[in-house]
């Protein structure tokens, strides 16, 4: 399966989006609770892929289908899968964070631990 059609943003672009408090955005982190305990970004709501059965059915009531939705994982593969699924659920403005939280730690905020 290819994820080449999913729009991606760099961690630099992510930092700019998070700094813009005027524009409504939704931030989703699909990493597992143990990963989030090591490193996290406060703006992101955590929806672990392993717990999909618990939150999957309510995704369209919990989040707005039209609002820009930014998805993050460790390196960008699981978040790409999530982006693909969100698009299939009717989300119209979804972006994957290229390089994930690992790149964010390296390029934006070294206070976010690497693992």
* pTM across the whole model: 0.94
Does the pLDDT value for residue 2 go beyond 80? Answer: no
Residue 49 in any domain: the answer is yes
49-103 pLDDT, tens per residue? 999 999 999 999 999 999 999 999 999 999 999 999 999 999 999 999 999 999 9
Task: Compute φ and ψ for 15, nearest 5 degrees.
Answer: -60, -40
Find the domain containing 95 and state its range. Answer: 8-59+68-107
Which pLDDT does position 5 carry in this prediction? 83
User: Is residue 112 a part of any domain in this protein?
Assistant: no
Give the span between the Cα atoms of 18 and 21, in whole angstroms: 7
CATH code of residue 79: 3.40.250.10
Whether 83 is catalytic is no
Cα(57)–Cα(65) distance, integer angstroms = 14
Active-site hit among 73, 82, 86, 97: 73
């Amino acid at each position: 399966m290819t994820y080449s059609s999913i729009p991606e943003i760099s961690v630099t672009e992510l930092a700019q989006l998070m700094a813009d408090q005027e524009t409504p955005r939704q931030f989703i982190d699909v990493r597992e609770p143990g990963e989030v305990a090591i490193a996290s970004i406060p703006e992101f709501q955590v929806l672990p892929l392993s717990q999909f059965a618990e939150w999957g059915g309510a995704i369209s009531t919990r989040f707005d289908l039209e609002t820009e939705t930014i998805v993050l994982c460790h390196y960008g593969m699981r978040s790409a899968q999530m982006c693909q699924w969100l698009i299939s659920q009717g989300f119209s403005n979804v972006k994957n964070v290229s390089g994930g939280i690992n790149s964010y730690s390296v390029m934006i905020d070294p206070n976010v631990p690497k693992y």
